[in-house]
Structure 1
Amino acid sequence: MHYFLTRDTFLISDSHFGHEAVLSKEPSRLRSAFECGFKDFDSYSVYLWNSALSEKSRIWHLGDLYFGKGYKILKKLNGTKTLIVGNNDIGKFEYVKGLKSWHVCSKLSLQIPERKLIKERLKARFGKECLKNIYLNAVVCDFEDERIMFSHFPVFNRKARDRFGAARDVLDETFKLARCSLNIHGHLHSRDSGNSFCINVSCERLRFMPRKLSEILSLHKKRVDFYD
């Protein structure tokens, strides 16, 4: 499947709709919602999403979409939506596949000429089954003068004993073999990867509003952060 991408495609990650625990881990969520007159974060998040996007807009969500009853929110969101599966979407994304205007990337999708060679090299190094890892989900494509990996996990940034290590090893190697120039990712929420080639689009870093790819790339080149 080809995942449609333009300068006007919106991006965001880690919405965690319906997830109570994340509110204590990321206090800026409720603080921002209360400051803007909302009683809960999900209502605030939906408001910002639909303020930015029309029904005709396109958006890529880079993982960790919803928890529990948060699935009820998905039908309220404007736009044609693509979910790149994150670690917390496992066991849930089949429901998303059944929704109108939602598409799901649940594999490593290399939309570049060298894809066959890269996959052969990955299998040679990590084993024939490596590409079947349920946590290995990303899109690699050429966009203007960049080769970008869109993924939930950031490359070359993890805990010493990361339980998703097997998938992330393949992701890191793919980034190198494909000679990617940028990794646009989520997972880290308000934290930063520390790598100049990584752009964190977790909602905390975008002030909770989806942003166009053109805007994200422009600010990255100027080293300006939405959060500043």
Structure 2
Amino acid sequence: MIYFTGDTHFGDRRVLSLDRRPFSSMAEHDAALIRNWNETVGRVDEVWHLGDVMSARAGDCTELLAQLNGRKHLIVGNNDTQATTASKGWDSVHHYVELREDGYHLILCHYAFRTWNQMGKKSINLHGHSHGRLKPLPRQFDVGVDAQELRPVSLDEIVHRKEVGASTEIISEA
């Protein structure tokens, strides 16, 4: 199965206050996000992390990624350092990717787009960065943990969820 997530910000104290994440410490925050990830994602699943993985002061990214299930791909976010992007734990590292999965054309970037490739042909823009605060356009989804109950989300969950202000279900191009 394929999953998407973003804006985990492991070890970044700012998320406790700015994003009002419900934890009293970063240790509690990081442990909960690791637990949620591993409860959701299996060892053979694929995960696309849409940026802002961890604070530069949070430790070794390769060690962190080794604790997380799945084959991991990174879409670089504005807070991802060279230490994060160079980690041996990633299967791939990109700034932008277009995928075809289960009949859907997916546009992946850390940032939400106002318009995107194949938008008129029902492609889907998945992004992070906005921490659940941006009103989405139709077929646009914030996959960051703040918008997804602090865990990765599957493609099936994304395309079948009824979003406020969006069309009820996305029709596959297949």
Superposed pair shares fold, TM > 0.5: yes
| Structure with a larger share of its residues in strand | 2
Determine if the alignment matches structure 1 residue 73 to structure 2 residue 64: yes
Q: Given residue 46 of structure 1, which amino acid in structure 2 is its aligned partner?
A: I
Determine if the alignment matches structure 1 residue 140 to structure 2 residue 98: yes
Which of these residues, 35, 38, 47, is aligned with residue 59 of structure 1? Answer: 47
Matches within 5 A, 1:4-23: 8-23=1-16
Give the 4+ runs in structure 1 shifted more than 4 A: 176-180
Aligned to 2:131: 189
Matches within 5 A, 1:150-165: 150-156=108-114
Structure 1, unaligned runs of 5 or more: 1-7, 107-136, 157-171, 224-228
Structure 2, unaligned runs of 5 or more: 170-174
Q: CA RMSD in A?
A: 2.4
Instruction: Note the C-alpha offset of 1:55.
Output: 1.4
Aligned to 1:222: 168
Aligned residues: 160
In structure 2, C-alpha distance between the alignment counterparts of 1:54 and 1:194, rounded to whole Å: 29
Distance 1:193 1:91, change over 3 A: farther
Matches within 5 A, 1:33-48: 33=23, 40-48=28-36
Instruction: Note the C-alpha offset of 1:182.
Output: 1.5
The structure with the larger Rg is 1
Q: Given residue 105 of structure 1, which amino acid in structure 2 is its aligned partner?
A: V
Which of these residues, 75, 79, 82, is aligned with residue 84 of structure 1? Answer: 75
Distance 1:140 1:76, change over 3 A: same
In structure 2, C-alpha distance between the alignment counterparts of 1:85 and 1:206, rounded to whole Å: 19
| Structure with a larger share of its residues in helix | 1
